[in-house]
Amino acid sequence: MKSVCFLFFIFFASSSIVSAQNDGRIVYRISTERLSIDDNESQAKQKVYKLLNSLSRIRDSLYFHLDYSNSESLFYLNKNKNIGMSNEKGYNSVVRSFNTVYYVNNETGNIIEQTISDGNYLVTSSTDEMNWDTTKEKKIIDGYLCFKAITNIKAQSLTKGEYLKKIEAWYCPSLPLNIGPKMYGNLPGLIMELIDGKLTYYVDSMDLNPKFKIQIDKPNNGKKISKKDYLSRQPKITKDNFEEYIGN
Amino acid sequence: MISLMTFGLSNLNLDIGDYCRDETFSLMDVALDQGFSVEETTCIANVFYAECEGYDIGNSYADCLD
């Protein structure tokens, strides 16, 4: 009985610490799924896979911040921190693939993705469009009990066109923050791990009681466009138009 | 006889072309899944396709990346 009371105390105490402190910073990093290189494959494929694996080392060296203050949060690449790979060939290319800043307001449901492609864009969407299926699958991450949730989001790919992309999240209820990497959140606990394609975002460190000021600057530089319209602008390569893009 | 050989060779080229195109699509999926932009993905795909087709690409991948 005493041990049960003690566990309840610890749970509520930790929840109180997180909820009483409305500002904080979660630091994420990425683990890229490595490509297996088969000696029976063509030289061309072996070569390009080795290249992509070397670029994965660079990607996995990056640090991302998820800053939150009350109902707002901001997810972005920390360009000031690197572990000495900035002189590696391909570093700038990898960093550029993470130039999107994600702003989420859980009170209004607004999501803004500030991104640069053929111009500066503010891509808008809503947290209402994200519907999670929670599962009973669980695991311990850094000492926290976490559960798995899955969502399928509308995405646009150069090769697939419009499709539904599966995203997996491991959220931890004992960390009552409904936020996570990129624009993913709205789960009853902080997302400690997020699997997006071949990339797994994971928590590197947490500062739930920062001594520095957390400032959430809502992105405002760019042309406003809905997510639907932004996705529809993306090109699609098919067998019919292949030679317009490749090999010409 | 010569026309048959030409037919066989042209079919072989078509097979290589189909193989290289399919492999290039597969490669683009991988690069996009890793978060590369459309520009970088198509650049890498172009170099790969050229090498797959038998061209000497030298250090062309370096032109896609900085």
Residues of chain A short of pLDDT 50, as ranges, are 6-13, 16-20
pLDDT digits (tens, 9 = 90+) for A20-51: 459 999 999 999 999 999 999 999 999 999 99
CB contacts of B45 in chain A (<8 Å) are 245-246
User: Closest chain B residue to A57 measured between Cα atoms?
Assistant: B34
The verdict on B16 touching A (C-beta cutoff 8 Å) is no
User: Quick one: average pLDDT of B20-43?
Assistant: 90
pLDDT at B43 over 60: yes
Mean pLDDT of chain B: 79
pLDDT at B11: 46
Measured between alpha carbons, how far is A17 from A115 in angstroms, rounded to an integer? 34
Q: Tell me which H or E stretch contains A25.
A: strand A23-32
Maximum CA pair distance of chain A? 74
Taking CB atoms and an 8 Å limit, are B42 and A246 in contact across chains? Answer: yes
* A85 in reach of chain B (CB within 8 A): no
Interface predicted TM-score (ipTM) of this complex, two decimals = 0.79
Q: What is the tens place of the pLDDT at every residue in A149-182?
A: 999 998 888 888 889 999 999 999 999 999 999 9
A40 touches chain B (CB under 8 A): no
B contacts of A43 (beta carbons < 8 Å): 51
Q: Do A246 and B49 touch (CB under 8 A)?
A: yes
Between CA A236 and CA A239, with CA A237 as vertex, the angle to 5 degrees is: 140
Q: Identify the pLDDT of residue A5.
A: 54
Give pTM, 2 decimals: 0.86
- Give the position of tokens 């500030």: A114
Structure tokens at A103: 């702003």
HSE-CB for B48 with a 13 A CA cutoff: 28
Q: Read off the DSSP letter of residue A102.
A: E
The confidence score (pLDDT) of residue A153 equals: 93
What are the residue boundaries of the structural domains of chain A, listed by start? 4-246
Rg (CA), chain A: 20
pLDDT at position A118 is 81
Q: A201 - beta bridge partners?
A: A30, A194
Taking the C-alpha atoms of residue B45 and residue A120, their distance in angstroms, rounded to an integer, is 25
